[in-house]
Copies of this chain bind each other. A is one copy, B any other.
Amino acid sequence: MHSDHRRPTLESVAARAGVSRATVSRVVNGLPVTSASQESVQRAIAELGYVPNHAARTLVTRRTDLIALVLPEPTTRVFSDDPFFPGVIHGVSQELEAADKQLVLMLAGSAASHTRIERSIAAHHVDGVMLASMHGADPLPTVLTRIGIPVVCNERSLGPTSVPYVGVDNMGGAAAAVKHLLDAGRTRIATIAGPQDMIGGIDRLTGYREALRGSSRRSIVAVGDFTMDSGASAMRQLLEDDPKLDAVFVASDLMADGALQALRQSGRRVPDDVALIGFDDIALAAYTDPPLTTVRQPIVEIGRHMARQLLRLVGGETIEPTVILPTELVLRGSA
């Protein structure tokens, strides 16, 4: 290998400080020692520039202080322009930093990477795992739980087993948006739903339907995949299905922005001809023309809560397996 000057070990620190390895270990880990040894050990550590070897410690404690965040998403979406993932990462990283854990990011785009991740986690390479943005009945959370690895998901699992998760009030948020449109006197309210193999997509559509059920309005539905392009084409399809629609609830801001462009191209004015409400409240929402009325979900908080729950689990605590964060209708110009 390359230049690797032998780094100082516990042994060498002990020798220099004139104490045993065990005592140095105690000092390093903050266990009680006499102030005399305390001091000489501290000095030796400073002089030698000693840093504990992480692997050796892990070998005996069986803790890695590594936490994985798995994004089982084709990378196209994860890292195109959707600020959801960066937001979650941001929140997660804040909490992990406070707990002095490191974040391992695993993108599970392909099937190959899926198995690779499973192997890596099974090797007890990390202390715990967060899974965000799952599709369908992903077996991963079940598999990992069975192995004995603490797992926390974003949104409830569509699979057979229940896994602790942090979700948001998708249905409530969607319903609030639709009610707002009804209250404003809109009569033909369509929706652009998200992917129907994801909780976010499913529950927001359900919320839309439930809110509409109370009224005499019928539902008009198109489905997108949370990308801007899919929002635009879904909007065009809706306009074809019902040229007289006067409102749309869109299951994500990115799709809503696409819809906005499609509406503009079709000659509709927003909100005069068609009212538009999105979901997420990403930064972009405040900058569209007109600014987007949307249902805010606390993205960064989702990350923070996932991390916090997982850290408790890793620490051996028992946790409330379900955390639901509130959503909130943010009124801007588009509805």
Across the two chains, which residue of chain B brings its CB closest to A91? B79
Complexed CA–CA distance, A287 and B1 (Å): 49
A247-293 with Cβ < 8 A to chain B: 257-258, 261, 264, 282-284, 287, 289
Contact B287 A261 (CB under 8 A): yes
Contact B97 A86 (CB under 8 A): no
Complexed CA–CA distance, A54 and B122 (Å): 10
Across the two chains, which residue of chain B brings its CB closest to A86? B79
A33-74 with Cβ < 8 A to chain B: 51-56, 58-59, 62, 64, 66
Contact A81 B79 (CB under 8 A): no
What's the minimum C-beta distance from A273 to chain B, rounded to whole angstroms? 18
Check A75 for interface membership: any CB of B closer than 8 A: yes
Complexed CA–CA distance, A79 and B93 (Å): 11
What's the minimum C-beta distance from A304 to chain B, rounded to whole angstroms? 12
Given contact pairs A2-B316, A53-B59, A287-B257, A102 touches B83 in the complex (Cβ within 8 A): no
Chain A interface residue count: which class? 35 or more
Check A135 for interface membership: any CB of B closer than 8 A: no
Spot the interface stretch: A112-120, A168-176, A193-201, A204-212: A112-120
Query: DSSP majority for the A interface?
Result: mixed
Complexed CA–CA distance, A257 and B287 (Å): 9
Given contact pairs A81-B284, A287-B228, A103 touches B105 in the complex (Cβ within 8 A): yes
A1-41 with Cβ < 8 A to chain B: 1-5, 7
Across the two chains, which residue of chain B brings its CB closest to A69? B105
With a CB–CB cut-off of 8 A, which chain B residues contact A326? none
Complexed CA–CA distance, A100 and B79 (Å): 21
Check A216 for interface membership: any CB of B closer than 8 A: no
Across the two chains, which residue of chain B brings its CB closest to A102? B104
Complexed CA–CA distance, A93 and B7 (Å): 30
Contact A51 B102 (CB under 8 A): no
With a CB–CB cut-off of 8 A, which chain B residues contact A123? 51-54
Check A78 for interface membership: any CB of B closer than 8 A: yes
Check A89 for interface membership: any CB of B closer than 8 A: yes
With a CB–CB cut-off of 8 A, which chain B residues contact A148? 2-5
With a CB–CB cut-off of 8 A, which chain B residues contact A97? 107, 113, 116
What's the minimum C-beta distance from A307 to chain B, rounded to whole angstroms? 13
Complexed CA–CA distance, A300 and B161 (Å): 37
Check A125 for interface membership: any CB of B closer than 8 A: yes
Across the two chains, which residue of chain B brings its CB closest to A83? B81
Contact A122 B51 (CB under 8 A): yes
